[in-house]
Chain A
Amino acid sequence: MNSRTALKTCETIPLRGGGRGGKFGAKNVLVLAATVALFVWSYRGAEIELTQLFSRDSVQQIVIYIKKLIPPDFSAPVLHGALKGTIETFAISFMGTLMAVGIALSVVFFASRNLIYSGLLYEMEPKQGWKRTARMLPYLAAKSLLNVLRTIPEMVWALIFVFMVGLGSFPGVLALGVHTGGVLGKLFGEVLEDVDTQPIESLQATGATRMQILFYGILPQVLPQFVAYTLYRWEVNIRVAAVLGLVGAGGLGQRIHIAISLFLENQLLTLIIAIYILVTIVDYLSAYLRRKVI
Chain B
Amino acid sequence: MNDLQQQYRLEEVRKVFGRHQIALDGIDLNVQRGEKLALIGPSGAGKTTLFRLLNCTLRPTTGKLWLDDCDVESLHGKRLRAMRRQIGTIYQQHNLVQRLKVVHNVLAGQLGRWSTPRSLMSLAKPADLGLAHKALEQVGIADKIFERTDELSGGQQQRVAIARVLVQDPEVILADEPVSSVDPTLASTIVRLLIDISESTRKTLIVSLHSVDLALAYFPRVIGISHGSITFDLSPDKISEAMLEGLYAGNDREQPATEAVNEPASPIAYPSIS
What is A's interface to B at a CB cutoff of 8 Å?
1-2, 120, 123-126, 196, 198-199, 201-209, 211-212, 215-217, 220-221, 224
Nearest CB of chain A from residue B143's CB, rounded to whole Å: 22
List 18 other contacts, CB 8 Å, given A206-B164, A216-B108. A1-B98, A123-B59, A124-B57, A124-B76, A125-B77, A198-B94, A202-B161, A204-B57, A205-B57, A206-B85, A206-B112, A207-B82, A207-B111, A209-B111, A216-B123, A220-B99, A220-B100, A221-B98
How far is it, in angstroms, between the C-alpha of A212 and the C-alpha of B107 when the chains are bound? 12
How far is it, in angstroms, between the C-alpha of A145 and the C-alpha of B24 when the chains are bound? 43
A206 with B84, Cβ < 8 A, contacts A124-B75, A216-B108 known: yes
**Could you tell me how many residues of chain B have their Cβ less than 8 Å away from some Cβ of chain A?**
41
Find chain B residues with CB under 8 A from A209 CB.
Answer: 81, 111, 116
Find chain B residues with CB under 8 A from A204 CB.
Answer: 57, 84
Residue with the greatest number of chain B CB neighbours at <10 A, chosen from A198, A206, A212: A206
The 0/1 profile, CB within 8 Å of A marked 1, for residues 168-189 of chain B is 1000000000000000000000
A interface SS class? helix
Q: Which of B89, B104, B116, B168 contacts A211 (CB 8 A)?
A: B116
Nearest CB of chain A from residue B139's CB, rounded to whole Å: 16
What is B's interface to A at a CB cutoff of 8 Å?
52, 55-59, 75-77, 80-89, 91, 93-100, 104, 108-109, 111-112, 114, 116, 119-120, 123, 161, 164, 168
A196 with B88, Cβ < 8 A, contacts A201-B57, A207-B81 known: no
The answer to whether B91 and A202 have CB atoms under 8 Å apart is yes
How far is it, in angstroms, between the C-alpha of A43 and the C-alpha of B88 when the chains are bound? 64
Top 10 A-B pairs, shortest CB-CB distance? A207-B112, A207-B85, A208-B111, A198-B94, A207-B84, A220-B99, A205-B89, A207-B81, A199-B97, A212-B111
Find chain B residues with CB under 8 A from A224 CB.
Answer: 99
